Chain A
């Protein structure tokens, strides 16, 4: 008599268990206990009835749950999304790099019938070892929706209509020619370094402007200065790596919540904490689940107070400081971080959120930087690049950054925008981006899916999905990760580079590069800048006002556009809550039975309240984005002050 069980049982919305296939090797339970630290599954019962069980009250909602599917030797654990979709021997595998964050995880992408069926963590001992996060594993179907762009669109009589490529190029060229150098280029985080380099070169060489910025999010001049001085133009050996994190004695986290914002940094830190007694210190308003799992020392910090706390820290050469990109919205933080590293000899690394951010910086997608970290203000640097590009000269004026461009469009100083892969919701104020797209005289949008920007554009070019083209992402370590063409079709979609090259040709100034290979070769030959680095810029004054300070970061599974179409994954997200310290909640007359209302200048929103012990008083934590809404709708960034209200749930 064999054992039979009702099948399958849901370990979580995504992970399913067929118990009669299980051989009780305990790899999954061991992974969840030792690697990810989310022990929501354990062996239960004994003898022949022994089986994997879940905690009675908690589903296995770990950000790393997909790994147990990969390490299950018998296929007893399967994912709701891939279960029975294909036989492994019918799949064709391609190595690639994950596009969801700056971690740079190597992936094995399996496809069949011109469709990606599943993604697995690749074997990359230096980067993600053999793990990845659920977002990287499961979120790859967002390009299969109704909103996928397949043909160029042009605006005619106020509405977008399908156009031929030739017609769309003509329309775009006419609009850009009319605007002359009065064009702003906004590029988003989805771009590979080759595509970002294409935009950087297109802006300078073809449009003749330095108005280019990759930061599709709250950004500051202080940050641009920090990036130019401390980050751009560095190579892998100079910076911090995953291995360096593991070897460090102490790691200080500033404006970075690794489990939510860079999950593989979290796993590597946890490994070092468990095996090498690494001490982790974090500047955060409260002890998160992630910092608890890291055994981190929390320095209770209200947003905006980071600089003061950093000034008091004492580190040494065996220490590493990791600063997250959201430090940009907290004036003085990045300056203080750079000071601390300079003062103590600690290693410093900047951890952006998007996969393309580090590469975009290297490609020169910032107003003050040319490729390789060359300062625009430095004449020698300009000559360097101009010579490589075969141009007489490059624009020397200081370009507008993202905030400057949005302002300039509003007042009519910029006539056109060239936009690639941005979402208004990612910015500090979403409405400002939407209105800028409407106010600009001419908008060209290069997109994979019909976005809020392309809906407002005058010409829209459809761009290949990531799995349809090749390229390179630079991760936060400055390490290149190859993106390979997974799906080859007889009529491949156009890439950003091809469209830019076509526009350049039509504008009479050939771009000189059409393929990722050419772009990377040119960028590599250009090399990094060895001259004097740009000097950092002073911090803007901190905002003042009344009421609790907003602390916020993105949760890994936040209902972003990249997760579209993957419902099982979305169901494993953490619920959106607002957090207050007991004293702050009591002062506002709120209890956990109530919802807390956050009153801002641009409206009010409510979230369920979770009173969090040992949280900094006078702060309110909310997720940056949650399904259905985001802080950008209310123009809120970390460090802003709000008023609290409340009512019964």
Chain B
């Protein structure tokens, strides 16, 4: 079974002191920097384009193409910003990567910066994960000492500074334009697009924003070639990626496999649903992606496969729920998160998520009235697609998909509290106090 796995990014995670520069170099780390600096920037972009690497942060935009969008004739400096503000519920891929092997990211940043011609790169790390920030800061400091950063990197004449910036704990700052505002020292709120960041991003200069995993995949592509990378995965979704399984599975964790693997295969790898239970619903990529059911167990987990069943690949954070779980309760918890994290800029999201929570609380308590399901969908329709950024879309995706797949369970909320239909203690992974239903 384990031959399904293709550890590349996670290959060195088990190594002793894998986060140090010595351990990283011992297994061939930073070789790709030398290779890349020997090529022209356009050639590096070309290799990444040929490899078919697509953004690992959720949207799946081709990384090489994003780099080539940076205008060459703009007199302003160019910037690379790495989005390490991983805060999506259920998502846990970038933090372990940065904990175990921060140098992979640093190496990828050097190559990506070189390819787009930038001399100052930023890593925007989620503020709560202090130990990760320290690891990354340490790695950057080691890279400076080793002459891999700073002036004239390895005699190539290329200069690069990397700045590690800690966020202040707002989910919205994972949205790329809000991240830029936050990085500039403003209040983190999304910007209207166009202009896109590639044209006017950080400090109104051309900016490339990539996910940690996208950038961390670059060194392996340079080392082993575009053909090797594109040999993995499916026709349109190339390469390997990290899937994070959590919830009611026997062995949750990170599984690095080629794109296109199915949940059935991943469940086999992780030992299956917990003993005596069966799958009820799951998210393919964190709470912002519409939920799926056991019907979709064999759908390939790649960009096209997920789009084909009305969902999204997202961050490949597979949250798995068994039959003891109340969909209403789960949806309410997710929407409460979005209500709390809505930045407040756009009225539909700010007010709508506030009203969604109030409605869903009625469903959970069994106090909803006939027609409230339609009202719920109505409110969702007022929010989704009517705000600046995707937070609003994510907030309603879980609601609309839950109603689509489990409408009777919502309608049961007209009469019966969710905690009577699905006693909460039964879905808990750990013992909870008697009668608690929070």
Partners in one complex: yes
Evaluate contact between A46 and B170: CB separation under 8 angstroms: yes
Evaluate contact between A48 and B358: CB separation under 8 angstroms: no
Chain A nearest CB from B82 CB (Å) reads 24
- A508 close to B (CB within 8 Å): no
Evaluate contact between A48 and B187: CB separation under 8 angstroms: no
- A502 close to B (CB within 8 Å): no
- B382 close to A (CB within 8 Å): no
Residues of A within 8 A of B351 (CB): 48
Q: How far is the CA of A48 from the CA of B340 in the complex (A)?
A: 8
**Among candidates B350, B353, B358, residue contacting A50 with C-beta atoms closer than 8 Å:** B350
Q: How far is the CA of A42 from the CA of B344 in the complex (A)?
A: 13
Evaluate contact between B344 and A43: CB separation under 8 angstroms: yes
Residues of B within 8 A of A42 (CB): 187
Q: Interface residues of A: mostly helix, strand, loop or mixed? A: loop
Evaluate contact between B187 and A43: CB separation under 8 angstroms: yes
- A35 close to B (CB within 8 Å): no
**Among candidates B170, B172, B345, B354, residue contacting A48 with C-beta atoms closer than 8 Å:** B354
- Give a binary string over B156-171; 1 marks a CB under 8 Å from any A CB, 0 the rest: 0000000000000010
Evaluate contact between A47 and B187: CB separation under 8 angstroms: no
**Among candidates A1, A24, A45, A46, residue contacting B358 with C-beta atoms closer than 8 Å:** A1
- B343 close to A (CB within 8 Å): yes
- A613 close to B (CB within 8 Å): no
Q: Interface residues of B: mostly helix, strand, loop or mixed? A: helix
The interface size of chain A toward B, counting residues with CB under 8 Å, comes to 11
Q: How far is the CA of A72 from the CA of B351 in the complex (A)?
A: 20
- Give a binary string over A32-60; 1 marks a CB under 8 Å from any B CB, 0 the rest: 00000000001101111110000000000
Within 8 A of A (CB), among B163-189: 170, 172, 187
Evaluate contact between B347 and A47: CB separation under 8 angstroms: no
- B341 close to A (CB within 8 Å): yes
Evaluate contact between B347 and A46: CB separation under 8 angstroms: no
- Give a binary string over A8-46; 1 marks a CB under 8 Å from any B CB, 0 the rest: 000000000000000110000000000000000011011
Q: How far is the CA of A45 from the CA of B172 in the complex (A)?
A: 13
How extensive is the interface on chain B, given as a class?
10 to 19
Chain A nearest CB from B356 CB (Å) reads 11
- B78 close to A (CB within 8 Å): no
Residues of B within 8 A of A47 (CB): 339-344, 350, 353-354
Number of A-B residue pairs having CB atoms within 8 Å of each other in the complex:
36
Closest to A45 in B: B344
Asked whether A50 and B344 contact (CB < 8 A) given A1-B358, A43-B187, the answer is yes
Q: How far is the CA of A49 from the CA of B358 in the complex (A)?
A: 15
Residues of A within 8 A of B341 (CB): 46-47
Residues of A within 8 A of B358 (CB): 1
Among A23, A42, A47, A50, the one with the most B-chain Cβ atoms within 10 Å of its Cβ is: A47
**Among candidates A23, A45, A49, residue contacting B347 with C-beta atoms closer than 8 Å:** A23
Evaluate contact between B343 and A46: CB separation under 8 angstroms: yes
Chain B nearest CB from A29 CB (Å) reads 10
Chain B nearest CB from A582 CB (Å) reads 31
Residues of A within 8 A of B342 (CB): 46-48
Residues of A within 8 A of B347 (CB): 23-24
Evaluate contact between B353 and A48: CB separation under 8 angstroms: yes
- Give a binary string over A184-224; 1 marks a CB under 8 Å from any B CB, 0 the rest: 00000000000000000000000000000000000000000
Residues of B within 8 A of A43 (CB): 187, 344
Q: How far is the CA of A46 from the CA of B339 in the complex (A)?
A: 9
Residues of A within 8 A of B344 (CB): 24, 43, 45-50
Closest to B342 in A: A47
Within 8 A of A (CB), among B335-372: 339-345, 347, 350-351, 353-354, 358
Residues of A within 8 A of B340 (CB): 47
Chain A nearest CB from B433 CB (Å) reads 28
Closest to B339 in A: A47
Q: How far is the CA of A1 from the CA of B351 in the complex (A)?
A: 12
Chain B nearest CB from A53 CB (Å) reads 12
Residues of B within 8 A of A48 (CB): 339, 342, 344, 350-351, 353-354
Residues of B within 8 A of A46 (CB): 170, 172, 341-344
Chain A nearest CB from B355 CB (Å) reads 9
Chain A nearest CB from B357 CB (Å) reads 9
Chain B nearest CB from A5 CB (Å) reads 15
Q: How far is the CA of A1 from the CA of B357 in the complex (A)?
A: 11
Residues of A within 8 A of B172 (CB): 46
Chain B nearest CB from A234 CB (Å) reads 42
Residues of A within 8 A of B343 (CB): 46-47, 50
Among A23, A24, A48, A50, the one with the most B-chain Cβ atoms within 10 Å of its Cβ is: A48
Chain B nearest CB from A532 CB (Å) reads 54
- Give a binary string over B187-220; 1 marks a CB under 8 Å from any A CB, 0 the rest: 1000000000000000000000000000000000
Within 8 A of B (CB), among A55-113: none
Q: How far is the CA of A455 from the CA of B134 in the complex (A)?
A: 77
Chain B nearest CB from A157 CB (Å) reads 71
Residues of B within 8 A of A23 (CB): 347
Chain B nearest CB from A148 CB (Å) reads 49
Q: How far is the CA of A46 from the CA of B347 in the complex (A)?
A: 12
Chain A nearest CB from B280 CB (Å) reads 30
- Give a binary string over A403-416; 1 marks a CB under 8 Å from any B CB, 0 the rest: 00000000000000
Q: How far is the CA of A43 from the CA of B341 in the complex (A)?
A: 15
- Give a binary string over B136-172; 1 marks a CB under 8 Å from any A CB, 0 the rest: 0000000000000000000000000000000000101
Q: How far is the CA of A1 from the CA of B362 in the complex (A)?
A: 12
Residues of B within 8 A of A1 (CB): 358
Q: How far is the CA of A24 from the CA of B339 in the complex (A)?
A: 16
Within 8 A of A (CB), among B304-359: 339-345, 347, 350-351, 353-354, 358
Within 8 A of B (CB), among A281-336: none
Chain B nearest CB from A34 CB (Å) reads 13
Q: How far is the CA of A46 from the CA of B181 in the complex (A)?
A: 15
Closest to A51 in B: B344
Chain A nearest CB from B411 CB (Å) reads 23
A sample of 30 cross-chain residue pairs with beta-carbon separation below 8 angstroms, ordered by A number, consists of: A1-B358, A23-B347, A24-B344, A24-B345, A24-B347, A43-B344, A46-B170, A46-B172, A46-B341, A46-B342, A46-B343, A46-B344, A47-B340, A47-B341, A47-B342, A47-B343, A47-B344, A47-B350, A47-B353, A48-B339, A48-B342, A48-B344, A48-B350, A48-B351, A48-B353, A48-B354, A49-B344, A50-B343, A50-B344, A50-B350
5 shortest A-B CB distances, which residue pairs?
A50-B344, A47-B342, A48-B354, A46-B344, A47-B344
Beyond the given pairs A24-B350, A42-B187, A47-B341, 16 more chain A to chain B contacts, judged by CB atoms under 8 angstroms and listed by A's residue number, are A1-B358, A23-B347, A43-B187, A43-B344, A45-B344, A46-B170, A46-B342, A46-B343, A46-B344, A47-B339, A47-B342, A47-B344, A47-B353, A48-B344, A48-B353, A49-B344
Please list the residues of chain A having a beta carbon within 8 angstroms of any beta carbon in chain B: 1, 23-24, 42-43, 45-50
